[in-house]
Every structure is written in C-alpha cells, then in structure tokens.
Structure 1
Amino acid sequence: MNFTLSDEAVEHAAAIESLVDTAFGPARKTRTVYQFRDGIPPATNLCYVALSNDGDMLGSIRFWPVLMPDGGQGVMLGPLAVLPDLRGQGIGKALVAHGIAGTRAAGYGGVLIVGDRGYYAPFGFREEKVANLELPGSVAPLTFMGLEFEEASLSRLSGMVLPFRETAEQSV
C-alpha cells in the first residue's frame, strides 16, 4: 500500500474526526482518555496523517499535552486511527513510529498511552514505566503504558496524571 505521512493541517480536521468516529464509535467519548482531549487542543506539532496518493485520509495519529505529577508537561499518544478496511497494512505502525520520532525530537522525555499491550509493546511501551502513575479513571480493557526516551523520565514520577488545561498557575 502506498501512502504518505505528513503533518496534520487545519484542512484535515473534519476528515480526522470522521475517521476517529468510524474507528472508535461514539463510545470513545465515555473512556477515561477522552477527558484528556475534551476541550483541549492536541499538540499540533505532533499530529500526523497518512494520505493516499490521491490525498484521501487513510490514518491519523495525535498527541495531547498532559499535566504530570511533578507539574511538568508530558504527552499522551492517541488516538491512532486507520480506516477499518486498511488495518494490518502498516499504516498505523508507520504513524506510531513517525509520532514517536516526533515526540523525541520535540524534547519530551517519554510518551504515555492507554492502548493495546500487544500492539504497542513492540514500540517499547511498558507498564512498569508508569507503575507509580495514575489516571483519573479506569482504562480497562486497555493498558496504561509509557515509553521513556530519557532514563527514568516517567518511572521516577509518582502520582496522578491530569488533563493539561492551561492556567495562570501552571508554569510548564
């Protein structure tokens, strides 16, 4: 399958929303991770799309800012969405690898995710990296995991990871 990865652009917004609705359905808005996205803009410099040669949306990956327990800003991957009839053709894996490279290049010490262990473990995501971190709600049947670029960037932390809402009090 031929496709091109590129930065998400404003004109992709409607197609991405449609794709995410198709991939996850309306129940996605009831999941714990949705509160990290609801009313919060994604980290736009870390959002990517997979496009066909004709410019059609095939897949998307976004990253969202989160407030870490030490008061710093972290980043959470998700959602990763690929058209259902194109799953298994490498689009999602290419988007994840590209997104991980982008977050590393942006200077983040690591990445958080709530996702399928079997899918994300080959990229280096591990539960033990976030063993002392909590999210404000259940993630089952998925798994809370982290990927560290810098040693102990996540595993040294302890406490609640919260949605990142910019306020005057936050200095991140």
Structure 2
Amino acid sequence: MTFHIDAELLDDAASIEALIETCFGPNRKGRTVYQFRDGIPPVHELCFVARNEADRMLGSIRFWPVQTGDGRILPLLGPLAVLPECQGQGIGRTLITHGLGAAERMGFPAVLIVGKPDYYVPFGFDRGLADGLTLPGPVAPLTFMAMEFPGHEGCLDHYAGLVKPADNWSHPVFSHKDCLAS
C-alpha cells in the first residue's frame, strides 16, 4: 500500500475524530488518558496523518502536552489510529517513527505513552522508564511507558510525580541539562 505522511490540517479534525471513534469506540472517553486531551489542544507540531494517493485519510497520530509533578513538560503519544482495514500495513509504525522524530527535533528529551507493550517496546518504550511518574487513574489493560531520545538517556530518572494535563503549555526548547535539573 502506498501512503504519505502530512501535517494534520485544521480541516482534518472531523475526519480524525471519526477515525478515532471507529478505532476506539465511545468508551474511550472514560479512559484515564482521555483527561489529558479533554479541552486541551494537542501539540500542533506533532500531529500527523497518513493519506493514500487519492488523499483518503488512513491514519492519524497526535501528541498531547503533559506536565510531570516536578513541573516538566513532555509529550504524551496518542491516540494512534489506523483504519481497521489498513492495519498491519506499516501505517501506524510509520506515523510513530515520524512523530517521534518530530518530537526529538523539537527538543523533547523523552515521550510518554499508555499503550500495548508488545507494539510500543520496539520503538524504545519501556515500563521501567516511567517508574518515577504516576497517572491520575488506572490504565489496565494497557501499560504506562516512556522512551528517552539518544543523548538524553537517564533523564527520566530525574522526573517524578503525578502526570497532569499541561493546559497552559507553550513551545518549550529543552536541552539535556534541562531534563537533569532537579
């Protein structure tokens, strides 16, 4: 299958919402991670869609700004949604790789996710990296994980506390010393 990745456009919002509804159903709004999205805009620079040659949307990925208990901002990956009939064809993996690359270029030292370990571990996500952080509710059967970008290994050792929505977020620029600050 041939597809390309584009930045999400304002006009994509309704299509993305329909895609997410198709993939996750109406009960998604009761999940812990939804409170990080409810009424809070995603990190616009980290929102992408996959389209086929006919410009049909096949998948979407978004990242949301969250704040750790010690005041640091990180992106939370999700949701990643791919049309059911297109799953297993590399669209989700390509969206993740593209989104993580963009987050790294923005200067974030790490990314958080609530997801299925068997899918996200190959991208570098690890349950142990999120050990110092907690969420304001359950995530089972999914798992709270994190990944650190090259050059920032160990930075999450210095992040701690309850993760909450970052509703007053503005575009930060991080350096390695920022993620090690206590």
Superposition deviation, residue 73 in structure 1: 1.2
Write out per-residue CA displacement over residues 90-115 of structure 1, whole angstroms, 9 at most, x where no aligned residue: 00000000011010000000000000
Identity %: 52
In 2, the alpha carbon distance for the partners of 1:11 and 1:138 equals 33
Write out per-residue CA displacement over residues 119-172 of structure 1, whole angstroms, 9 at most, x where no aligned residue: 0000000011011110000000000000011122223222111111218xx9x7
In 2, the alpha carbon distance for the partners of 1:153 and 1:162 equals 19
Equivalenced residue count is 169
In the alignment, does 2:55 pair up with 1:55?
Answer: yes
TM-score when normalising by structure 1: 0.95
Superposition deviation, residue 86 in structure 1: 0.7
**Letter aligned with residue 65 of structure 2:** P
In the alignment, does 2:85 pair up with 1:88?
Answer: no
**Letter aligned with residue 48 of structure 2:** Y
Aligned to 2:167: 165
Structure 1 stretches lacking a partner, 5+ long = none
3-state SS of paired residue (1:144): strand
TM-score when normalising by structure 2: 0.90
Superposition deviation, residue 84 in structure 1: 0.5
Structure 2 stretches lacking a partner, 5+ long = 173-182
Matches within 5 A, 1:86-165: 86-149=86-149, 150-165=152-167
3-state SS of paired residue (2:59): strand
In 1, the alpha carbon distance for the partners of 2:110 and 2:132 equals 15
Whether the 8 Å contact between 2:72 and 2:159 is mirrored in structure 1 is no
Root mean square deviation of aligned Cα: 1.3
Aligned to 1:33: 33
In 2, the alpha carbon distance for the partners of 1:41 and 1:3 equals 26
